[in-house]
Amino acid sequence: MSQQSTAVKPSLQGVRIKARKGAVKAQAKHEPAVFRDQLYKHLETTPDNDFDAIANKLLQAGSTLDYLKYADALFEILLVGGLIQPGGSYVDDGAPMSPFSIFKANDPASVDDLKNYVQVLIKLIRRYKYLQKPLEERALPTLLQYFNRWSPDQRNKFATTVGLLIAQGFVTAACLQSLTKDHLVKNDVSAIMLAIVFRAYLAEQPMEHLATALKRGNIKDLLAFFPPNRRDGKILDEHFRKENLPQVADWYTKRQQVLAKEGIMSELKELYNHEEPEEAVVAAIQNKLEENPLADTDLIQCLWQGLIATVDWSARADQIEGLALREVGKFAPVLEAFCKGPKVEVALINAVQVYCYDDTRFMKTFTPILKVLYNKDCISDQAIIYWHQKGSKPQGRQHFIKATEALVKFLQEQEDSEEE
């Protein structure tokens, strides 16, 4: 046993162990200028505006050039025509501009022309899928922050390219976050850039598609792209209409209304959970309206939905009507504070009508609820009569019109007697 344990074990001598290919690449010196010069040699042999030939050359070059290691340099060359150093200026080493880049597109920039350049990028990314992530997460955000250093024509070309890439789904709108930096939002630079991006996007996709793309890119508020002293909904609306993008202005207005309604309904739930008095509820709603204004008719419908949602409707079927009338009577002062005129009153009646139609438990409770709202001065006799004659919603119209005939007749007789 002892002789075996002390025996010399065999070993390899004079054998060179080959390093793994990945390890060799990792230890290699980072030389973007060398990569640029090698890429230029491939691009210089292709005719101008022969986009198929350029795309094929780039695909072939990927077999010999390390696209993954030099992804940032690759996109700087293809997008802006050369290597960029920190601060946004070109690397000053005497090298010429790239034979192919977005900046070489025709002036003025046009979507149709830039589609050819974007198709070259798309073919490259489809072949080398690992390039998609560095383009979205590093190259575009980095170049966008130097947007203010370029000429107007270069800005238009780059912004149009970004819009087309997002519309094609090869990058997300998250790259636009770079435009919210302080040095870009001043003087409306970012807002103008955003309009160009949107115009290119909408040339390919509808507004609903753009709205979804912004949501996925975590672009929460377009006002972040405006100077701090101009972050106002009216200014944003005017900007996009001036840029001939009314669909963006309309979408933003509707979205803000939805957010305002959600905010009010959430506030109501919170206040009623803490059993706050009506005065505090009214004051809280008024504060919300200062932040995000709502049309009076939209507000009253929102208030009805929010207030009715605070009630626990788990009572027995035979107790629902009594519970509904008590609860409506409780929050009637809040509704009354915002019932400003006949048009708003009719909107409130319609909100009650739709609610009672959607929840069949309240079909028979509609008329009693109107009586409570009438007695609490939320709605007037003229509003009820107008609603009955021509202001009702189509949901359950015949049922509710018939159910309120007696009430309307009483109100009309009362009105006639007062006139006499």
pLDDT digits (tens, 9 = 90+) for 253-284: 999 888 889 989 999 999 988 888 989 999 99
Which two tokens mark 162? Answer: 């970004």
* pLDDT tens per residue, range 377-398: 999 999 999 999 999 999 999 9
Instruction: State pTM to two decimals.
Output: 0.77
Residue 15 scores a pLDDT above 60:
no
Which residues make Cβ contacts (< 8 Å) with residue 11, sequence separation at least 6?
none
Structure confidence at residue 1 (pLDDT):
46
Q: What is residue 282's predicted lDDT score, i.e. its pLDDT? A: 93
**How far apart, in whole angstroms, are the C-alpha atoms of residue 57 and residue 75?**
15
Supply the pLDDT for residue 82.
Answer: 93
Query: Cβ(222)–Cβ(236) under 8 Å?
Result: yes
pLDDT of residue 127: 95
How is residue 88 annotated by DSSP?
S
Q: Tens digits of per-residue pLDDT, 56-101?
A: 999 999 999 999 999 999 999 999 999 999 888 899 888 899 999 9
Domains of the chain and CATH, by start: 31-244 (1.25.40), 256-419 (1.25.40.180)
Residue 318 to residue 131: CA distance in whole angstroms: 66
Share of residues in the chain with pLDDT > 90 (%): 73
Q: How far apart are CA 40 and CA 34, in angstroms?
A: 10
